[in-house]
Every structure is written in structure tokens, then in C-alpha cells.
Amino acid sequence: MDNHLRTLRAQAQWTQADLAQRLGVSRQAVNALETGKHDPSLDLAYRISVVFELPVEAIFQNPYRSAPGFDR
């Protein structure tokens, strides 16, 4: 899933370890999310949105949204 985590984290001037601590996950988990190796659970996506004070939709992009025939 595409996301803006790295950009948001950089704007906040946080390291991956800083963000990991705020989210209650490992630095490696943050790296995996930023690089798209893993998608967040719904709970983690919500926690990320709370930390950045943004809606989930502003952080994560649905790859199917731009697919032909996707009408939602």
C-alpha cells in the first residue's frame, strides 16, 4: 500500500525510532511500512493517523482506487 509515512516523519523531524516509540512498534516495523514491505493493520493505521493528526486516507493510498472500473 502506498503511503506518505516517510515524508510525514521527515516533516516532523522524527527518526524511525522516534515514530516507532510513539506507535508502540519496532523501528524495523516502521521501516517495513515506509518501504511498502508490509501494510499496517487497521489498528496501526488508526494509531498512525492519530500521531500525525490526519485522516487515514491522507496517509495511505488505496492502490485499487485508480484501477479501471473502481467506482467507489
Domain annotation for the chain: domains and CATH numbers? 2-59 (1.10.260.40)
72 compared with 25, residue with greater pLDDT: 25
Task: Reply yes or no on whether the pLDDT at 9 is more than 60.
Answer: yes
Cell numbers describing residue 12: 516532523
Tell me what pLDDT residue 62 has: 65
Digit-coded pLDDT (tens) for 15-66: 999 999 999 999 999 999 999 999 999 999 999 999 999 999 999 876 565 5
Alpha helices in the chain (DSSP H): 5-11, 16-23, 27-34, 42-52, 56-59
Separation CA 68–CA 45 (nearest Å): 26
Q: 6: which residues sit within 8 A by CB, 6+ positions away?
A: 34
Q: Determine how many CB atoms are found less than 10 A away from the CB of residue 61.
A: 13
